[in-house]
Structure 1
């Protein structure tokens, strides 16, 4: 399949992580599956929820902010993200008067965690290596 081969070519040339580009290149499902295998899928889920939240109409911000906070940021959240206490407290204050940017600080922490920790491991993972092998096999055809 031509689009799949293009996807793999793009994947193999991905060296640096750019916020929007790397998610598009490797695909949310592939990276998400890798994170799930590492029991850290909450990171990509939170990041994507924040991206969606930024597009929310102002009259729905409060409801959506509460939902994201309870799901990912609250200290008792089922999918609690790994952020420091100060960022957690700062985010809790910001959602009391929510704006489209109230999760930006926490989102940046999680993005950096994925960029510096999860993504380099992904590049060494069997998932990624299998994709590269498939790319090589497709390029020989």
Structure 2
């Protein structure tokens, strides 16, 4: 929470106040963890509700044709053809992933995870995972952060 929220401190004039407001204190505290836990718990429900409302509106009005041409040509119905195709695809992907995870769980892991932890010694090679590298690069580009 500290690294990502500290990115907001780069905003001129209000950055540090904004970070303290999000944290709920002068540092990451119990209030911060409670807020982020609540956000991570509620956000999927909000996204699901928005997707369902979008699908409801799409079902009521139909999709928009950007060219404006009404095409009443021969079409393949979405259900059952594309529904079954998508179900087959996701079943295949889940089967491959479960096979990989259950029969070779160490294949996707980091070898450094097997080193015994030492709370008194911080390793010098600490770097974020690949999906946080963009934020880490932005954070490193800001001086004094």
TM over 0.5: no
- Higher Cα radius of gyration: 2
User: Which protein, 1 or 2, shows the higher relative CO under an 8 Å CA cutoff with sep ≥ 6?
Assistant: 1
Higher helix proportion: 1
